[in-house]
Copies of this chain bind each other. A is one copy, B any other.
């Protein structure tokens, strides 16, 4: 499993991923799932969930340095919609190769969160399915998730809006990760994160939250304590002896 979550807000984008991969609970590893493509005119980020051989092969092709007369990559694709199509097509092909190799023995499916900005164009953010089709993030629901999405979703639904300040949104996404980490062993620290301000074309923050980072630990503890207080203060049930 994996948890990836990104938000596209008025001020910009935040993307966060865990780093745990597993082939059973007795075989876990740490792999970077948050990848970036930086150029003079662009900053693009990708977060991958699902079969690691599917996503790694797709990423190698997508992020390769362009060669004269060679295939398009994320370094030279003209706009983000074309880029989303390229990511979808590349992943669908990679997934097909893996599926043919492993048969039914191993799930070959994968998902990619993909977004960023190219100079002079709007910032865009997509969720790309293993079959190659995709959906785009929009202000009404300004977040996209991949992997183990359910535990961390209620806090996003209640708290994230398009007008949210970037670092406030990052904090909320980290709380969503804390909820997920407490519920599913297949999601694990460290976490990788990128903050990209609109029109900046280079990241304002690239950070890895290590296992022993005090802020993240304290955030989870403070959230649990505050939640218990908040619950206590809610009106009691009006029936029975409550």
A175–B236 contact, CB under 8 A?
A: no
Main SS of chain A's interface residues? Answer: helix
Q: In the complex, how many residues of chain A place their beta carbon closer than 8 angstroms to a beta carbon of chain B?
A: 48
B234–A219 contact, CB under 8 A?
A: yes
A238 to B217, CA, bound (A): 13
Q: Is A226 an interface residue (CB 8 A)?
A: yes
Determine the residue in chain B with the shortest Cβ distance to A215: B238
- Residues in B with CB closer than 8 Å to A231 are 155, 159, 168, 171-172, 175
CB of A204 to closest CB in B, whole Å: 6
Instruction: Say yes or no: A183-B154 contact (C-beta < 8 A), given A167-B237, A231-B159, A234-B219.
Output: yes
Please state the number of chain copies in the assembly: 2
Interface string of A152-180 (1 = CB under 8 A from B): 11110111000000111011101100011
Q: Is A182 an interface residue (CB 8 A)?
A: yes
B226–A230 contact, CB under 8 A?
A: yes
- Of the listed residues A154, A229, A239, A242, the one surrounded by the most CB atoms of chain B closer than 10 A to its CB is A154
- Of the listed residues A150, A159, A204, the one surrounded by the most CB atoms of chain B closer than 10 A to its CB is A150
Looking at the complex, which one of B179, B182, B227, B237 makes contact with A215 (CB distance below 8 Å)? Answer: B237
CB of A220 to closest CB in B, whole Å: 9
B151–A154 contact, CB under 8 A?
A: yes
Interface string of A75-94 (1 = CB under 8 A from B): 00000000000000000000
- Residues in B with CB closer than 8 Å to A174 are 237
